[in-house]
Amino acid sequence: MATVSAVLFMAVVSFLFVHELDAIRQREWRFFFAPVAVRDETAYRIFTAVHAPLFVVILVFVESSAFRVGVDAFAIVHGLAHFGLRNHPLIEFDSWFSGFWIVGGSLLGALHLVLVL
């Protein structure tokens, strides 16, 4: 049977995963590849493809307590980064729907962190 902590952490991961789906829709690769002379289609493919090994790492280490704390911290810092970059011309997460996944992931990460520490 899953614990409250485990379910809460899975919610953090789920919010981050859904945010990354939204990041593709919002063309977030344009922000990361702005200083690199690469075609938009190539940047999209690299940005999207790099998520496959990233998701594998997350799923492999999902049971590690230290990894969970790291993901929680990442979710919080990630949300703060999006807040700090909210007016950047290449960041297009300006809808409540996009914000829900970003802020929700951060808040759930903070809640999970408080619960386990």
Given a cut of 80, whether residue 51 has pLDDT beyond it is yes
pLDDT of 2 reads 86
Kindly give, in sequence order, each residue whose CB lies less than 8 Å from that of residue 79, ignoring residues fewer than 6 positions away.
Answer: 102, 103, 105, 106, 107, 109
**What mean pLDDT do residues 34-42 have?**
93
DSSP string for 46-97: HHHHTHHHHHHHHHHSTT-HHHHHHHHHHHHHHHHHHHHTTT-TT----SHH
5, 105 in Cβ contact below 8 A? no
Asked if pLDDT for residue 21 goes beyond 80, the answer is: yes
Percent of the chain with pLDDT over 90: 97
Amino acid identity of residue 9, one-letter, is F
pLDDT at 1: 76
Average pLDDT of the segment spanning 39-67: 96
Tokens at 90, concatenated? 């290449």
Give the predicted TM-score (pTM) of the model: 0.94
81-104 confidence digits (pLDDT tens): 999 999 999 999 999 999 999 999
